[in-house]
Amino acid sequence: MAKDAEKSTWKDFIWNSRTREFCGRTGSSWGLILLFYLVFYIFLAGMFCLTMYVMLQTLDDYKPTWQDRLGTPGMMIRPRGKAMEISYNTTNTETWDMYIKTLDNFLSPYNNSLQAEKNEECTPDQYFVQADSGDVKNNPKRSCQFNRTFLEKCSGLDDHTYGYQAGKPCIIIKLNRVIGMLPGKDGQAPFVTCGAKRYKVGKDEWKEDSDKIGEVEYYPENGTFNLMYYPYYGKKAQVNYSQPLVAIKFLNITLNEDINIECRIISNNIPPGSVRDKFAGKVSFKLRINTKG
């Protein structure tokens, strides 16, 4: 009898035919609850849409409204190798062929014919400023040519191996893009310099490979990032922008040894990078050229 009573009570809770209640509520009660939550969620959705609309009105399609810009832009190399280590054997084509392909792909947009087609010749050694006229945007903005031939012996045009086969490899350096950055003042362009990187060999002992790097050539001349490529206005405003590059060529680096190298950007308008950020204003890599089988 107790089980029948419990079963009857459970059934009455689900549907009570006498009071016409479902789960303890009448149809009108359920209708009011559903109406309340419908209005409530419509209100929340409306508030969300209004908030997003107001926020989007503060944004610029072409540049960040708020830009927490780093004082020192990062640097990167091509090819990068694995873990910033470039190692190969001059007698084994397979060990350096991947570096050649990387450089070919990276430099293909810099072919002179493509640059002449989409970019224009600019006046060197001065900023290429393209200001807007009040609320009237001067978009799309023009870009200056950076021709592959500027890299001379590291262009891959005369030597398709970029010196890797001869044990005189080329490394391409690029400075990360920062919208609105003016990297030099008083007409002095920033430039790249490379040298030995200090590394730890013991608990309190440091070492560097200054005597093993040998002679280094820079392209363009003096390893400069010409001022005419700045300021950068953003990917959407400056669609055809070609990032300037600097190539370094090692002419007589010590063979069959690991050489730790660090390249830095030198500018009278860019502060030195933080020691905590290994790519801020500098880039470090290891180079090893083997000649033994």
pLDDT of residue 15: 67
Query: In angstroms, rounded to a whole number, what is the distance separating the alpha carbons of residues 226 and 233?
Result: 16
Contact of 260 with 176, CB cutoff 8 Å = no
Query: In angstroms, rounded to a whole number, what is the distance separating the alpha carbons of residues 25 and 29?
Result: 6
SS3 21: strand
Query: What is the residue whose two structure tokens read 């880039």?
Result: 283
Query: In angstroms, rounded to a whole number, what is the distance separating the alpha carbons of residues 103 and 79?
Result: 6
pLDDT of residue 27: 73
248 contacts: CB under 8 Å, gap ≥ 6: 154, 170, 171, 173, 192, 194, 216, 217, 218, 219, 223, 263
pLDDT of residue 254: 93
Q: Which long-range contacts does 2-9 make (Cβ < 8 Å, 24+ apart)?
A: none
Starting from the edge strand earliest in sequence, which strands make up the sheet with 25-26, in order?
A: 15-16, 21-22, 25-26
pLDDT of residue 17: 67
34 contacts: CB under 8 Å, gap ≥ 6: none
**DSSP letter assigned to residue 130:** -
pLDDT of residue 62: 76
Take residue 123 and report the two structure tokens written for it. 């006046």
Starting from the edge strand earliest in sequence, which strands make up the sheet with 85-89, in order?
A: 85-89, 282-290, 259-266, 191-196
pLDDT digit string (tens) for the chain, length 293 residues: 445 555 556 666 676 766 667 776 777 888 888 899 999 999 999 999 999 999 888 877 777 777 765 678 889 999 998 889 999 999 999 999 999 999 999 999 999 999 999 999 999 999 999 988 777 677 889 999 999 999 999 999 999 999 999 999 999 999 999 888 899 888 899 999 999 888 777 677 777 778 899 999 999 999 999 999 999 998 888 999 999 999 999 999 999 999 999 999 999 888 776 666 777 889 999 999 999 76
pLDDT of residue 10: 64
pLDDT of residue 198: 80
SS3 253: coil
pLDDT of residue 1: 47
